[in-house]
Amino acid sequence: LLVERLANTAANDLMNVITITLTVAIGSTMVADQFLTVKTLEIIVLGLIAFMCGTASGVIGARIINWYTGGKVNPLVGSAGIASVPIAARVSHVVGLQENPYNFLIMHAMGPNLAGVFGTAISGGIMLALLGVK
């Protein structure tokens, strides 16, 4: 019972407290006129577009695989193929559970999720090499 309570606290409440503390600590050192610039907003918008395109292309890719395999791949697994570990896999799992309570996708979604991390690191390295950034 104690271990279960500690695990639950660490996974939920403690994580939220740490996140809020880090956010306040880092945010208090920032100056708005230096941080909130047009360049910052452009980067945020480009990141959101990349996130949406990555999720959509993962679902479309899973649907294409379904077309070849006769429907053996859950498209939600494709949506987890972005470099947001483990959030994307958890979201895919929760959405799958809402549709079917016996649909446990978390382990299947972690594969594409980690592949998204590797793909992001590789493509980022290639871009840095092509741009000549040292």
pLDDT tens per residue, range 40-99: 899 999 999 988 998 899 889 989 999 999 988 888 888 888 888 888 899 999 999 999
Closest CA to 112 of 91, 67, 82: 82
CA distance 119 to 51: 14
Q: Break the chain into its structural domains and give their ranges.
A: 1-30, 32-131
* Higher-pLDDT residue of 1, 31: 31
Q: What is the largest CA-CA distance in the chain?
A: 56
* Higher-pLDDT residue of 34, 119: 119
7 pLDDT more than 90: no
Question: What mean pLDDT do residues 22-39 have?
Answer: 86
Q: What is the pLDDT of residue 12?
A: 81
**Does the predicted TM-score (pTM) go above 0.75?**
no
Question: What mean pLDDT do residues 20-49 have?
Answer: 89
- Which residues touch 75 (CB under 8 Å, ≥6 apart)? 59, 62, 63, 66
Q: What is the pLDDT of residue 60?
A: 92
Which band of pLDDT confidence, cut at 50, 70 and 90, is reported for residue 14? Answer: confident
CA distance 112 to 88: 10
